Amino acid sequence: MVFGSLSCGVGGDREGIDRQRIRAMNMITGFRKLWVWLVVLALGCLTASAHTDVVLELKDGKLVAPVEEFDTYKVPEEFLPMEYDAVTHRVRIGRREMKLIPYFTSLFPEDGKYKVRFSTSWYHDLALLPPYLQIRIEPEGRQFHYELLLNMKDLSVIYLELDLDLGGGARRCFPVDLKHWEKEIAESIKPVDAGINKERQEKKDGQREKEDEMLDPFAK
């Protein structure tokens, strides 16, 4: 009886040990998976940081690449011209333009003490991001800046972020939810040649009326 109870006890201990071993193995497997994901994320960050945008210069309302980078990074024709009006905050890329909505313009300090920087990229992995124009608003004397990213194909907003400098090289980004302004943003984007096409059409219609009158002067 004693041995029997001891045997059962040993068996129970073995089962408990086996369960502990299984749990330990599962934890190790879980840690390995977590480590793999961390490595993948780290590599992704390194890849992202390795990419360099073309820094654009604003000259007479035109956004142009520096001369030393023009041959290496030639902006595709479909995205030209690239313009920015510092007074009206109008942005043009190719055949589309948009006037920044009041919410966006409110990010510019009223005292005029800020810098606006522009950069672009169209040669990255387009599966991750479409070709984009970045507008960076930097208020002077502040530990933050805004980054507005625009899709160069249709001028839609990819995102707006508040980038906060935490000191010591640490930063933290806060994405801004733009759902409330989606309709207003969409309505602010217009084809540049809309007015030109309308004028051309009116001229064509006028020409047709004159031709009709010449063919049949008693039509009216």
pLDDT grade for 8, boundaries at 50, 70 and 90: very low
**Pairwise pLDDT comparison (215 vs 182), residue with the higher score:** 182
Extract the tokens encoding 132.
């984009």
Please state the domain extents for the chain: 1-50, 54-197
Query: For the sheet containing 82-85, what is the strand order?
Result: 170-175, 157-167, 144-151, 132-139, 114-121, 54-59, 62-64, 82-85, 90-93, 96-99, 189-191
- Is the model's pLDDT at 187 over the cut of 80? yes
What average pLDDT does the segment 8-35 reach? Answer: 49
pLDDT grade for 199, boundaries at 50, 70 and 90: low
pTM for the full model? 0.66
Query: How do residues 83-130 score in pLDDT, each as one tens digit?
Result: 999 999 999 999 999 999 999 999 999 999 999 999 999 988 999 999
pLDDT grade for 75, boundaries at 50, 70 and 90: confident
Question: Could you identify the residue written with the tokens 């006037």?
Answer: 99
- Is the model's pLDDT at 150 over the cut of 50? yes
Least confident of 66-70, 137-141, 173-177: 66-70
How far apart, in whole angstroms, are the C-alpha atoms of residue 47 and residue 70? 24
- Residue 202, pLDDT score: 62
- Residue 51, pLDDT score: 72
Question: Could you identify the residue written with the tokens 């129970």?
Answer: 12
Query: How do residues 27-69 score in pLDDT, each as one tens digit?
Result: 544 444 444 444 433 433 433 445 789 999 999 999 998 876 6
- Is the model's pLDDT at 136 over the cut of 60? yes
Extract the tokens encoding 8.
């059962």
- Residue 142, pLDDT score: 95
How far apart, in whole angstroms, are the C-alpha atoms of residue 120 and residue 93? 11
- Residue 66, pLDDT score: 80
How far apart, in whole angstroms, are the C-alpha atoms of residue 177 and residue 134? 17
| Alpha helices by DSSP H, 51-176 | 67-70, 102-105
- Residue 200, pLDDT score: 52
- Is the model's pLDDT at 10 over the cut of 50? no
